[in-house]
Structure 1
Amino acid sequence: MSEVSVVLLRGINVGGRNSLPMAELRAMLEGLGAEDCRTYIQSGNAVVRGGVEAETLSDAIAAAKGFRPHVLVLHLDTYREVLDACPFAAQGQADGKSVHVYFADGTPQEPDAQTRALATGTETLAVRQGAAYLHAPDGIGRSKLAAKLDKALTVPVTARNWTTAQAIRALAEDIA
């Protein structure tokens, strides 16, 4: 039985830029040897059986579409660990759009005091080994902390809200 992986792309199908239909993403993944490819919504979330290299997929997208998204490939066990480590899981269960998981490609750094000071009175941030977690009950659309968090963590990250992260987990569990 092949290993199951979660594939997360950053910055596709956002604001009419970097368009990549999910049918094309699935075809690219299959062309790279992945099996049982499934995608979730249009923002670059896939689960696959078999190995896929992040750089190889990014190269394939660049060749076919003319832009190179950052690609993060996590083995299902690692993906589970990141979600299980979320200190705001209970809040995410109550309101899945209030909790955001920033999946990191490397070890994220704690943001400096100036960046942390951007948090509103309701926002809470936690940084762990492979992710950062933001509880923003008032939403992240106007959050100054969320706007600066990508750079403050010092490694490439891609964020998903709790609802989306759990839906991806369910897809992956289904093919595991």
Structure 2
Amino acid sequence: MTTHLVLLRGINVSGHNMIKMEALKTTLEAIGFENVQTYIQSGNVFVDTEEENAAAVGFKIKQEIFKAFGHEVPVVVIGKADLEACLKNNPFLKEVVLDIKKLYVAFVSTILRSDNINDLKISQFKPDEASIDENKIYIKYAVGAGKTRFDQKYIEKKLNVTATIRNWNTVTQLLQLFDER
């Protein structure tokens, strides 16, 4: 059995793409996922399955969400190693003075090359900062996520990927939940 963390983008935001977590849990159990656990309303779902391929799991869930709820929801599926890498590889954690509330991670659907950072043209968003690590982009917002144009839509457009962003508190909580499973 493999545990996957499914990150849904854009659900339950400002009254759009509303999905109750209990209904989502029931729907995913009905199509064969086991030990389904949700964390907060923003679309973080743990599932256990015999399927090891994360892309296959994401595709199946995306299809079922459309079928059951009528929403076209982008999905990124990650494993425990992805979250552990966040704690180990986030370059911003090495800073002496750090406001954790300004740290975010964009999880993307494919492995990125280190030179993709040039494609993002992050310098035009200074003083925001970003660093790429495989399928993650570590972000440090100068003011906050709500006051920048360096967001998930921008990342998706520039890199031609599916992306979803989580704040640092959520990332650490999700890792803790993985450990508890």
Identify whether the pair has TM-score above 0.5, normalized to the shorter chain: yes
Identity of aligned residues (%): 29
Which amino acid counterpart does residue 142 of structure 1 have in structure 2? K
Partner residue in 2 for 1:120: 126
Unaligned runs of 5+ in 1: none
How far residue 76 of structure 1 moved from its aligned partner, in angstroms, is: 1.9
SS at structure 1 position matched to 2:146: coil
Once the two structures are superposed, what CA deviation does each residue of 1:118-172 show, in whole Å capped at 9, x if it has no partner?
2233x21111211111101410211122362332232111100100111111111
More helix by percentage: 2
Which amino acid counterpart does residue 29 of structure 1 have in structure 2? L
Moved over 3 A (4+): 93-96
Residue among 58, 64, 70 paired with 1:60: 64
Distance 1:173 1:63 in 2: 32
Once the two structures are superposed, what CA deviation does each residue of 1:82-102 show, in whole Å capped at 9, x if it has no partner?
4432212356x9543211100
With normalisation by structure 2, the TM-score equals 0.83
- Indicate the structure whose relative CO is greater, using CA pairs within 8 Å and at least 6 residues apart: 1
Distance 1:111 1:168 in 2: 30
Q: How does 1:1-176 map to 2 (within 5 A)?
A: 2-51=1-50, 53-90=57-94, 95-108=99-112, 109-112=116-119, 115-121=121-127, 123-146=128-151, 148-175=154-181
With normalisation by structure 1, the TM-score equals 0.85
How far residue 16 of structure 1 moved from its aligned partner, in angstroms, is: 0.6
CA RMSD of aligned residues (A): 2.2
